[in-house]
Amino acid sequence: MAIVQERDSAVDRTIKVLVVDDQELFRRGLTLLLAAEDDIEVVGEAADGSSLVDMVRATGAEVVLLDVQLRASSGIEACARLKEAVPECRVIMLTSSDAESDLYESVKNGASGYLLKDSSMNEVSQAVRLVADGQSLISPSMAAKLLDEFKEMSRADRDVTPTPQLTGRELEVLRFVAQGLSNREIGKLMFISENTVKNHVRNILDKLQLHSRMEAVMYAVREKLLDIPQ
């Protein structure tokens, strides 16, 4: 199962980004490099997540780059608060932590991306575009760890909870999403348009009260909708 989603449509607009990191040198450097991208506008930066919700609302930020470990607060907790208050805002955790627990908690609390700080600038800017377009992405080195967590979830002895709120078509789309397919790839397999797939994905997330495609993958595993090799 592929965890990293492919970009399936261009973002033909300027993406508003907020950078939150307590290391000033890293934060300012990242801000300057992102500002050099034609389609990205850095609308603010902060050293902690205490006022993140207010900043997002004031700036209209669409994507937040957020460190997991902040001196004054937890980046994961800040992500959870933000997704509850402004669910349409996308969060990419950009961190030096390669701990499985941080990765899993970030995804569980609504992060659409998880990148390590040794990622290239091209990888970071592409991640911004991907999550702004509704996709999900994590560093390749972390993907195997998340898959291992999914395997543990699938091995657990759980009762299967029915999902009557999803239509048969939506369940089919969810299974493809859980396999890591892009909207375009799903559309080709189901003989429907890419926009129709996007609508199905949006409806799935709304009905299941999920924040991201990665959370949808976790849901599919928990409800045993996806077979993962043991």
Contact 30, 124 (CB under 8 A): yes
Place of tokens 């009905």: 207
Give the chain's radius of gyration (CA, Å): 17
Per-position b or e across 142-177, b if 16+ CB within 10 A of its CB: bbebbbebbeeebeeeeeeeebeebeeebbebbebb
Whether domain 149-222 has CATH 1.10.10.10 = yes
Amino acid 6: pLDDT:
41
- For 18-44, write each residue's pLDDT tens digit: 999 999 999 999 999 999 999 999 999
Give the integer Cα–Cα distance in Å for 224 and 219. Answer: 8
Q: Do domains 15-142 and 149-222 have the same CATH topology?
A: no
Q: Which residue has the higher pLDDT, 188 or 183?
A: 188
Specify burial of residue 227 (Cβ count, 10 A radius: 0-12, 13-18, 19+): exposed
Domain ranges of the chain: 15-142, 149-222
Q: Is residue 171 very low, low, confident or very high in pLDDT (cuts 50, 70, 90)?
A: confident
CATH (residue range 15-142): 3.40.50.2300
